[in-house]
Amino acid sequence: MLILSSTSDIVRVITAQASQIEVHASYADWNGTTVTPGRTNTIITTATTTTVVASPGSGVQRNVRHLNITNDHASASCVVSVEHSDGTTIVELMSFTLLPGENMIFGEEGRWAHRDANGAEYPPAGKGAYDGRSVGFMKSGTAADAIGYWYCTSKDAGFPGAWSPGTPGVNGRVTDGTVIATDAGCVPIKNPAVGANYLTELLMGSSVPHYNLFFDVLWVNSGLVVTTTTAQSITTPTLPARDVNGTTNGEGCMIGLLFTAAATNAALITNTTVSYTNSAGVAGRTATLQNLVGACIPATPVIGTLVWFSLQAGDTGVRSIENITLNTSLVTGSISLFIARDVASIGNSIAYIPSSRKLADPGVRLYNGTCLLHCVQASATTVTFFNGELTVQEK
């Protein structure tokens, strides 16, 4: 609504070019006891300033409920501005360039809309708009360990290229997906020029159907000894401000164990534990594995095998890690521990047929420096080719 509350208040339209601008206004007058509806129609054909809603009478408030301004010219465009004046101060309310056949509408809820000649509403423009871009994804994977276990494509060739933890040692390093020297190979997400990035849609296909998960690695380490069965101490640095709330607390983050070289343990391992501080700052919490397919270390895990730990009951995130205890030797191989935020998932049920998922508006926030990796929960051990597209919008 738009209120005219004095005998000096008016609504006027400024047309910057000569055209055929047609204005309809609907309003209601209130004198304290009675509501009297009214309306006016105005046609403007020159570059001029025109009052389209006149002042109310003394003691009356005029509530403008609707303005409809149409460029009915066959070929000429016109910049149309709407102003409110109280007789002294003039305030511009909205301005659009109307092409032939287009209109601008002010509704009773106070919202402006710009519609094209076919009546379709324009999306928002300027800094309040989404500035979208698509990021391609393609990986030539190797065989997963077993059906139901997780396999990470970070090591595989394609686009992006291979990503690796590097050699930061047991205390590890924080990640930054925009720094090529350390995190080349993560899905490239440029920091926004203005506003923030949001992941709004996923499109994924593969030669073998799997369940896909994209996650942001915030911290990763190396140098853990796979034959040590006692606690290996870790001092993690402060996480980057990329948890679900954009803070360093690790809210919504989880713990993963990535095999960067195959191990030769002969049986399932379910007794590995991680001591951590939760996102609320409570230390001495314990993350565990379970005796379930996909929730434990498989026998002879292949390179790329990924194991997710279960946090202690009631915990919703990880702020830091203090140690890992394998309890059972992996015999050979190499591993990296990481803290990651679950970003988005998508399944595809038919080979070579892409599946799409639109994420609820405004999408999933991707904070500056996001180091986005991809993994799947395998439906088969078959070598798989992955391809897809991520829609990232800047708002």
User: Could you say which of 122, 150, 182 is where a domain stops?
Assistant: 122
Asked if 32 contacts 73 with a C-beta cutoff of 8 angstroms, the reply is no
pLDDT digits (tens, 9 = 90+) for 342-373: 999 999 889 999 999 999 878 999 999 999 99
206 and 228 in a single domain? The answer is yes
- The tokens of 9 are what? 């208040």
Q: Which residue has the tokens 């279960």?
A: 310
User: Could you say which of 122, 156, 173 is where a domain stops?
Assistant: 122
148 and 48 in a single domain? The answer is no
Q: Which amino acid is at 205?
A: G
User: Could you say which of 103, 122, 141 is where a domain stops?
Assistant: 122
Written as tens digits, the pLDDT of the chain (395 aa) is 789 999 999 999 999 999 999 999 999 999 999 999 999 999 999 999 999 999 999 999 999 999 999 999 999 999 999 999 999 999 999 999 999 999 999 998 888 999 988 888 876 655 455 567 899 999 999 999 999 999 999 999 999 999 999 999 999 999 999 999 999 999 999 998 777 899 999 999 999 999 999 999 999 999 999 999 999 999 999 999 999 999 999 999 999 999 999 999 999 999 999 999 999 999 999 999 999 999 999 999 999 999 999 999 999 999 999 999 999 999 999 999 999 999 999 998 899 999 999 998 789 999 999 999 999 999 999 999 999 999 999 87
111 and 139 in a single domain? The answer is no
24 and 154 in a single domain? The answer is no
Give CA–CA dist 254/216, Å, rounded.
10
- How distant, in Å, are the alpha carbons of 45, 252, 273, 361, 366 from that of 372? 56, 15, 25, 20, 9
264 and 341 in a single domain? The answer is yes
DSSP, collapsed to helix, strand or coil, labels residue 126 as helix
Determine the pLDDT at residue 136: 94
Its domain, for residue 77, covers 2-122
pTM of the entire structure? 0.71
Give CA–CA dist 311/45, Å, rounded.
70
Q: Which amino acid is at 267?
A: A
139 and 77 in a single domain? The answer is no
108 and 142 in a single domain? The answer is no
| 371 CA to centre of own chain | 14
83 and 143 in a single domain? The answer is no
Asked if 230 contacts 329 with a C-beta cutoff of 8 angstroms, the reply is no
168 and 109 in a single domain? The answer is no
66 and 7 in a single domain? The answer is yes
Beta strands 285-288 and 231-233 are unpaired
- Sheet with 10-15, strands from edge to edge, namely 49-53, 10-15, 78-85, 90-98
Nearest by Cα to 16 from 64, 69, 81: 81
pLDDT digits (tens, 9 = 90+) for 62-72: 999 999 999 99
Q: How many domains are contained in the chain?
A: 2
Q: Which residue has the tokens 């391809």?
A: 387
Asked if 276 contacts 239 with a C-beta cutoff of 8 angstroms, the reply is no
100 and 143 in a single domain? The answer is no
Q: For residue 309, what is the DSSP state?
A: P
54 and 100 in a single domain? The answer is yes
Give CA–CA dist 277/284, Å, rounded.
6
Whole-angstrom Cα Rg for the chain: 30
